[in-house]
């Protein structure tokens, strides 16, 4: 209790975030959408949402001549939570292509914070496909396996209560946030935190084939079906968690996801070789209040996509 009080007195308040950047969706699967024409701050960074409800420039549905359109689906990592617009990996990728290629490239960012794969598939079918993309990239992060209904679908193992406790403490305890941030570079403590809060939860989803996993597979199949119908290639981008835990705590989960996605004849690539990094601490935002990636993470991600697509 004393530690919590002291943390709230001496640690700076979190960067400002305007909470009204999302609105309720009439689509029961999407549940929420980005608010069209929103302008405000998220983690202290200026964010503008276009009139169609995406964090990008204004685009006509009809594609310009001699233009190659890449549509990027994903959650808050694709959206660029906590970084400037030009520091998101879709925009870094767009710049790289247009510096070296004769053809004009447009990389459209359809990332929406908190979306999972099932919702991204719905967004693709309802909106994104209308922009006539030539290539679809799906940015996958491990929590895309969660269900949008506040993670209350599947029964939990007793050992998974750590997952909910960790989430609760991160939401309410500044001292706990400080501890996790301070020890992020220690691989032993990072391993304990990850095992306690994350690994068991997502391995449970995979091993028990819970409703979350069923919905995930439906989402992958739907993305594959839409892309096949429209003759569009898909790249499934595996975005690794920023952790110094050794061995990599989500390897089993990512391997299972990759295997299933490949069975659907979609191309899978890793954002970067995370196993080569002894210390990934420098790839996350420099704040105790959020563990999203920073610009350096997204530069690595864009470079990997560029090398695989060009």
Residue by residue, pLDDT tens for the chain (310 residues) are 666 555 555 556 677 789 899 999 999 999 999 999 999 999 999 999 999 999 999 999 999 999 999 999 999 999 999 999 999 999 999 999 998 767 899 999 999 999 999 999 999 999 999 999 999 999 999 999 997 654 444 455 545 566 666 666 556 666 656 565 666 666 666 666 667 778 888 998 999 999 999 999 999 999 999 999 999 999 999 999 888 887 888 999 999 999 999 999 999 998 877 666 667 888 989 887 788 999 999 999 999 999 988 6
Task: Report the CATH number at residue 241.
Answer: 3.40.50.1110
Residue 107 included in any domain: yes
Residue 82 included in any domain: yes
Number of domains composing the chain: 1
Is residue 217 within 8 Å of residue 140, measured between CB atoms? Answer: no
| pLDDT, position 121 | 98
C-alpha radius of gyration, the chain, whole number: 19
Residue 48 included in any domain: no
Residue 46 included in any domain: no
Range of the domain at 266: 2-14+69-309
List of long-range contacts for 223-226, beta carbons under 8 Å, 24+ apart: 223/73, 223/117, 223/120, 223/121, 223/124, 223/136, 223/138, 223/266, 224/264, 224/265, 224/266, 226/121, 226/124, 226/125, 226/129
Residue 34 included in any domain: no
CA dihedral 112, 84, 14, 182 (to 10 degrees): 100
| pLDDT, position 278 | 67
Residue 49 included in any domain: no
Residue 47 included in any domain: no
Query: Which residue's entry shows tokens 């276009």?
Result: 50
Residue 193 included in any domain: yes
| pLDDT, position 56 | 98
Task: Specify the pTM.
Answer: 0.90
């Amino acid at each position: 209790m004393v530690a919590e009080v002291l943390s709230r007195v001496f640690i700076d308040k979190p960067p400002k975030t305007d909470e009204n950047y999302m609105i309720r969706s009439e689509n029961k699967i999407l549940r929420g959408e980005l608010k069209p024409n929103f302008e405000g701050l998220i983690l202290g960074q200026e964010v503008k949402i276009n009139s169609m409800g995406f964090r990008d420039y204004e685009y006509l549905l009809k594609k310009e001549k001699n233009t190659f359109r890449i549509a990027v689906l994903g959650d808050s990592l694709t959206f660029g939570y906590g970084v400037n617009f030009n520091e998101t990996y879709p925009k870094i990728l767009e710049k790289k292509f247009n510096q070296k290629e004769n053809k004009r490239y447009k990389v459209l960012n359809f990332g929406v914070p908190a979306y999972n794969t099932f919702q991204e598939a719905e967004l693709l079918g309802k909106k994104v496909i209308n922009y006539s993309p030539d290539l679809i990239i799906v940015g996958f992060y491990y929590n895309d396996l969660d269900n949008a209904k506040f993670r209350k679908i599947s029964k939990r193992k007793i050992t998974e209560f750590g997952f909910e406790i960790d989430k609760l403490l991160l939401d309410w305890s500044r001292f706990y946030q400080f501890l996790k941030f301070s020890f992020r570079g220690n691989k032993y403590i990072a391993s304990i935190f990850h095992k306690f809060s994350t690994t068991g939860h997502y391995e449970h989803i995979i091993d028990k084939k819970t409703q979350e996993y069923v919905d995930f597979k439906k989402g992958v199949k739907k993305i594959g079906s839409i892309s096949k119908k429209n003759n569009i290639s898909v790249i499934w981008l595996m975005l690794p968690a920023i952790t110094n835990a050794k061995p990599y705590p989500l390897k089993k989960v990512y391997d299972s996801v990759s295997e299933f996605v490949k069975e659907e004849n979609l191309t899978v690539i890793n954002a970067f070789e995370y196993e080569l990094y002894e210390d990934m601490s420098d790839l996350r935002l420099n704040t105790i209040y959020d563990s999203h990636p920073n610009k350096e993470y997204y530069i690595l991600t864009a470079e990997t996509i560029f090398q695989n697509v060009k």
